[in-house]
Structure 1
Amino acid sequence: MKAAAFAYARATSVVNALDLLEAHGDRAKVLSGGQSLMPAMNLRLISPELVVDIGEVAELRGISVTGDTVRIGALTRHVELQRSPEIVAHAPLLTEAIAHVAHPAIRNRGTIGGSLAHADPASELPACMVALNATIIIRGKTGERRVAATDFFTGIYETALAAQELLVAVELPTGRRKSAHFFHEFARRHGDYAIAGLAAQAVVEGDLFADLRLAFFAVGDRPVLAKAATKLVNIAITRAGLSAALAVLSQELDPQSDQQASASMRRHLAGVLLTRCVGTLLGRPDLGAGGPA
């Protein structure tokens, strides 16, 4: 199939893009990397009257570190994130996760802003933003607002972004001392959509978690920041304690069944991921690296 007829405008600045979005409202769509927008248009899942191309807006590119904050421009491509020494140093979870995003051709064109605004619940980057306690920077005609990643994703392909607003950047806190991360996803083939995945950021003090953020993806309508993590922080981890956390996780997840996997399979795989995460980060193979305790 081919996309329905549409008008095209190349924005010259953020202000110009916002003017176009304000003038056309819900009838306009923003084009950044195009790796999600163009397939949806070709399948006629969406049919915008105007496509606003922000790809040449230089102010939306780049990665910078200021104090204890890493700022990533919305047009920063996946491959740039993967190769960035700043990301390796301050947010290595992202470096590892990017390797699981589709295929090289997609990573060479896709942008972080496009991925987050698209809000696919099986996507890696939204979960990473939740795990890393990121702040999403949004700009509209009346100014800028900041939204916590946990509040930004509101449903399947739904976010807190209004039709007349533009996602301009992401800010991450730099990694704390003794911080550690875990990333893994289950997919039928590398590059396929995840069946279940986990992005985790932790602070490990000896044999304990001083902090633990578990962001599951592909097991709900948005990234899930698991409350089960509270069962694992500041306590000595035993198999019984891990089992209690797994029980909490199973109850809080609400996965859907589809052609890829049943809801029960996704819930089981989430438990496997949690067990592997805890065992890996604490160096505790006795907890059962192969599956739930």
Structure 2
Amino acid sequence: MYAFDIERPATIADAIAAMKGEDAQALGGGQTLIPTLKQRLAMPSKLVSLSGIEEMRGICREDEGRICIGASTTHTEVAAGVEGYAALASLAANIGDPAVRNRGTIGGSLANNDPSACYPAAALGSGATVVTDRREIAADDFFDGLFGTALEEDEIIIEVRFPVPEKAGYIKFEQPASRFALVGVFVAKFADGVRVAVTGASEEGVFRWSEAEAVLSSNFAADALDGVALPGSGMISDLHGSGDYRAHLVGVLTRRAVSAA
């Protein structure tokens, strides 16, 4: 590790002020950022910890049926506190290990956009809205390649708003050492159609599988996907699996997610 300053603001207003004018980086639970700092992949001169801001914690349900989750809410809190969205609660309950779930936050996960993280698939598959200190960003516009997002350098995620679908399921094939998703698929059925989001597979990060969405919107059944497949080109290929293997897993896990929904 290297030397840096750290501030622990108690309010959103204080956090916004702390992010201005310096090479500052927002810090959620640190489960992605701290290893990144250790490897010198990022070297901000100041960290602004958001974990102590109570107004950024908690879960509520709006009259419109949306579930709103504060950005500093931990994975354990999401798993225990989300009512009426079983797929999202189950996803949160199976992130990492107990230490990661008790420290990691939904806002930190989305802001870092690790290509194998689970929450990006949930947000994109649900058609969620990411609320920052200055605007609202649709999930379709938020993710921008590996580790990339639409966030500006000093922008802070305050809340994530999830529409609740009629049915949903999330299935991931874990990399056993890290429990990150080698491939993960989130499927959500709404009145106006189906959304399918895939994490862990593509060289471009989390993405929507439009061909599967079209098929499932007409017939929401696992066997409706027979004959529908992704090519291996453009998929991550590493020591854990080839691009063709990951493409095959996407098809298998999508069928399982539909069955689980």
Q: TM-score normalized by structure 2?
A: 0.91
For the residue of structure 2 that corresponds to 1:18, the secondary structure is helix
Are 2:210 and 1:230 equivalent residues in the alignment?
A: no
Matched, 1:137 2:131: yes
Partner of 1:77: 74
Separation (CA, whole Å) in 2 of partners of 1:238 and 1:62? 35
Is the 1:77–1:108 contact (alpha carbons within 8 Å) kept by the matching residues of 2? yes
CA contact (8 A) 1:137 1:146 kept: yes
C-alpha separation in 1, matches of 2:96 and 2:119: 12
Separation of aligned partners in 2, 1:192 and 1:132: 22
Aligned to 2:168: 181
Structure 2 vs 1, CA of residues 211 and 36 (structure 1 numbering), >3 Å: closer, same or farther?
Answer: same
Partner residue of 2:104 out of 100, 110, 113: 110
What is the DSSP-based 3-state SS (H/G/I as helix, E as strand, rest coil) of the residue aligned with 2:31?
Answer: coil
Contact 2:111 2:149 in 1 (8 A): yes
The yes-or-no answer on 1:275 pairing with 2:259 is no
Alignment partner of 1:56: what SS?
A: coil
Deviates more, 1:147-156 or 1:271-280: 271-280
Question: Structure 1 residue 253: deviation in Å?
Answer: 7.1
Instruction: State the shift of 1:276 in Å.
Output: 2.6
Moved over 4 A (4+): 235-239
Extract unaligned runs of 5+ from structure 1: 205-209, 282-293
Provide the rounded CA distance (Å) in 1 between the counterparts of 2:59 and 2:260: 29
Rg: which structure is higher?
Answer: 1
Deviations along 1:230-289, one digit per CA (max 9) or x if unpaired, are 0232248695x5234x23xx14973111122111110111111123334455xxxxxxxx
User: Cα–Cα, structure 1 residues 124 and 236, in superposed 2: closer, same or farther, change >3 Å?
Assistant: closer
Q: Cα deviation per residue 1:35-64 (whole Å; 9 max; x = unaligned)? A: 111111122221111111122111111111
Q: CA RMSD in A?
A: 2.1
Structure-2 residue corresponding to 1:168 = 158
| Aligned partner (choices 8, 14, 33) of residue 16 of structure 1 | 14
- How far has the Cα of 1:128 moved from its partner? 0.4
Give aligned-pair identity as a percent.
30
Amino acid at match of 1:152: F
Which residue pairs with 1:290 in the alignment? none
- Give the 3-state SS of the residue equivalent to 2:217 in structure 1: coil
C-alpha spacing 1:203/1:16, structure 2 compared with 1 (3 Å)? closer
Residues matched between the structures, number: 258
Structure 1 residue 11 displacement after superposition: 1.6
Give, in whole Å, the separation in 1 of the partners of 2:221 and 2:104: 40
Structure 2 unmatched ranges of 5 or more: none
1:190 is displaced (CA, Å) by 7.3
1: CA distance between counterparts of 2:198 and 2:32?
Answer: 21
Q: 1:64 and 1:147 mapped to 2: Cα distance?
A: 19
State yes or no: 1:216 paired with 2:198.
yes
Aligned to 2:83: 88
Q: Name the SS of the counterpart of 2:226 in structure 1.
A: helix
Pairing partner for 1:47 from 28, 33, 43: 43
